């Protein structure tokens, strides 16, 4: 079994608390309060800033040029493309860039992003990728599952665009690449003794992702 699948299966209850969260279900059936989605969008933009830092840190933590280029590409993708797309999405919901950047980070956002950065600072590339996995890979699983729900992609669902983004072939490929990278790093560095620590990192990052959804519900 791949390292990622082992981590997921050994922490399945926590994983499902994230991927099947009430917030996620609300995206699929369109019943999520608009205010909750707007709060999430703003915090997700601030979240992206810190994840760009995490990938930049990955450049330093890389052991070869291939890894360095991958992390640099991910950081640039967030800064040069994804954040611009996010701003346009926010603006379509009546949220200005000025309002977004003036918003303080929610404690749930701070807890998650700083945990990822702290894990990366103390560990190596495998630690970083495992800490990033619930976001990078989990969103792909969530998007694919929601896209299969009846009516999720209909014009009547205000969140259909979000679902299309994360169920798209492009994003599914990114998620699959993230799984592959973790498995390749695991083959090199994941000893049986170290697996316990990696599982703890994965579980905590997943728990913090679930808390991020919960944050959106708490208005």
User: With b meaning 16 or more CB within 10 Å and e meaning fewer, what string describes 154-167?
Assistant: eeebebbebbeebb
| Candidate list 141, 181, 204, 209, residue with the active-site label | 209
Do the Cβ atoms of 120 and 127 come closer than 8 Å? Answer: yes
Whole-angstrom CA distances from 104 to 91, 101, 109 are 18, 8, 10
Task: State the Rg of the chain over Cα.
Answer: 17
Q: Catalytic residue at 165?
A: no
Q: Tokens 């992609």 correspond to what residue? A: 153
Both tokens of residue 143? 């998007």
Q: Catalytic residue at 71?
A: no
Do the Cβ atoms of 214 and 108 come closer than 8 Å? Answer: yes
Q: What's the angle, vertex CA 147, arms to CA 143 and CA 153, rounded to 5?
A: 120
| Candidate list 90, 135, 141, 181, residue with the active-site label | 135
Do the Cβ atoms of 4 and 179 come closer than 8 Å? Answer: yes
Task: State the helix-helix crossing angle for 107-122 and 125-136, rounded to 10 degrees.
Answer: 150
Catalytic residue ranges: 135, 209
């Amino acid at each position: 079994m791949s390292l990622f699948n082992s981590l997921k299966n050994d922490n399945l209850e926590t994983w499902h608390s994230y991927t099947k969260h009430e917030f996620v279900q609300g995206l699929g059936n369109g019943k999520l309060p608009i205010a909750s989605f707007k709060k999430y969008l703003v915090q997700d933009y601030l979240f992206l800033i810190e994840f760009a830092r995490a990938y930049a840190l990955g450049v330093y933590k890389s052991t070869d040029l291939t890894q360095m280029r991958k992390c640099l590409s991910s950081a640039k993708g967030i800064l040069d493309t994804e954040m611009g797309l996010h701003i346009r999405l926010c603006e379509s919901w009546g949220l200005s860039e000025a309002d977004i950047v003036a918003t303080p980070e929610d404690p749930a956002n701070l807890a998650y992003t700083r945990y990822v950065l702290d894990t990366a600072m103390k560990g190596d590339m495998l630690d970083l990728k495992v800490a990033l996995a619930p976001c990078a890979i989990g969103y792909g699983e969530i998007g694919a599952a929601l896209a299969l729900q009846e009516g999720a992609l209909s014009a009547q669902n205000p969140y259909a665009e979000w679902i299309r983004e994360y169920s798209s072939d492009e994003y599914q490929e990114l998620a699959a690449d993230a799984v592959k990278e973790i498995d390749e790093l695991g083959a090199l560095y994941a000893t049986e003794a170290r697996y316990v620590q990696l599982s703890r990192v994965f579980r905590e990052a997943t728990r913090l992702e679930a808390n991020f959804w919960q944050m959106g519900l708490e208005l």
